[in-house]
Amino acid sequence: MTRRRMSRWIAAWGVSLAASIAGGASVAGAADEPRPILIFAASSLTNVVDELGQAFRDQKGIAVKASYAASSVLAKQIEAGAPADVFFSADTEWVDYVEQRKLLKPGTRRNVIANRLVLIAPLDSPLLQLKIAPDFDLAGALGGGKLATGDPDSVPVGKYAKAALEKLGVWDGVSSHLVPAENVRAALAFVARGEAPLGIVYETDAKVENRVKVVGVFPDDSHPPITYPIALTATAQPDAAQFLAFVTGAAGSKIFRKYGFQPLH
């Protein structure tokens, strides 16, 4: 199956899955129960959005469901008609993509949080630290093994990783060793299972996986800012605006900090 056909299949499958998630409550619940707010969120937001959703439900009594994948996949699913109410992306480019197609509710887009890019290794790796600087010996540290990160052609963490490695002058030496994972959590899992000696993920992902350790932090100026925008979709139900306000407010900021994200408001 070609990459294009695979992308179309994933988008179609995601629309079906999202519709199932959105409709599940109405099948089992009473007819007057409101449909849960459906959040399409980047994989790196899994833990924090789970907690945000629970806190929002506790406060407002409104249920939240989430579908997690790479931002690129989610954007394509929204384009294909998936019934998402909120899009929470790991980069600005895929929100631009959706916005340019007039699939977002005007005036609702907000930059919410920032993150950092880190180099990780399995917890039992003999490598303790690798200073990340121009022309650093990443190829030597790999020792012929694989470097796990997101697919640099589409997945935000992979695009940030490629930009950083190119700026630092080491991309050409390691690109043939790349494991282009479908999302950042898949890349994290490769390293956690010991299938790759090194990986590039977000700092917050490393914090929630106790089988890996951070062995280096990429300088902020080595890649574009890691910014997470959120927006309501053009077809968002009215209650979704309350979730957006919650996420961008003080309660949301407290939960983001708990998981290592840097609030921008």
**What is the distance between the alpha carbons of residues 56 and 63, in angstroms, rounded to a whole number?**
8
Q: Judging by DSSP bridges, how do beta strands 212-217 and 64-69 pair with one another?
A: unpaired
- Average the pLDDT over each of 18-27, 70-79, 93-102, 251-260 and give the range with the smallest value: 18-27
Residue 236 has pLDDT above 70, yes or no: yes
Measured between alpha carbons, how far is 99 from 260 in angstroms, rounded to an integer?
28
DSSP assignments along the chain, one per residue: --HHHHHHHHHHHHHHHHHHHHHHHHHHS-TTSPPPEEEEEEGGGHHHHHHHHHHHHHHH---EEEEEE-HHHHHHHHHTT---SEEE-SSHHHHHHHHHTT-B-TT--EEEEE--EEEEEETT-S-------TT--HHHHHTT--EEEE-TTT-HHHHHHHHHHHHTT-HHHHGGGEEEESSHHHHHHHHHTTSSSEEEEEHHHHHT-TTEEEEEE--GGGS---EEEEEEBTT--TTHHHHHHHHTSHHHHHHHHHTT-EE--
| CA gap 44, 68 in Å, rounded | 8
In whole angstroms, what is the distance from residue 105 CA to residue 195 CA?
42
52 CB-near residues (< 8 Å, 6+ apart): 64, 246, 247, 252, 255
CATH architecture of the domain 117-222 equals: 3-Layer(aba) Sandwich (3.40)
Match domain 3-114+226-263 to its CATH number in 3.20.20.140, 3.40.190.10, 3.40.50.2000, 3.40.1230.10: 3.40.190.10
CA distances to 169, 221, 243 from 55, in Å: 44, 35, 10
Answer whether 3-114+226-263 and 117-222 agree in fold.
yes
pLDDT, tens digit, 9 for 90 and up, residues 113-152: 999 999 999 999 999 999 999 999 999 999 999 999 999 9
Q: Is the pTM of this model over 0.75?
A: yes
Cα–Cα distance measured from residue 70 to residue 79, given in angstroms and rounded to the nearest whole number: 14
Average pLDDT, the chain: 91
Q: Could you state, in order of their start, the residue ranges of all structural domains in the chain?
A: 3-114+226-263, 117-222
pLDDT in tens, 152-161: 999 999 999 9
Token pair listed for 23: 């409709």
Residue 25 has pLDDT above 50, yes or no: no
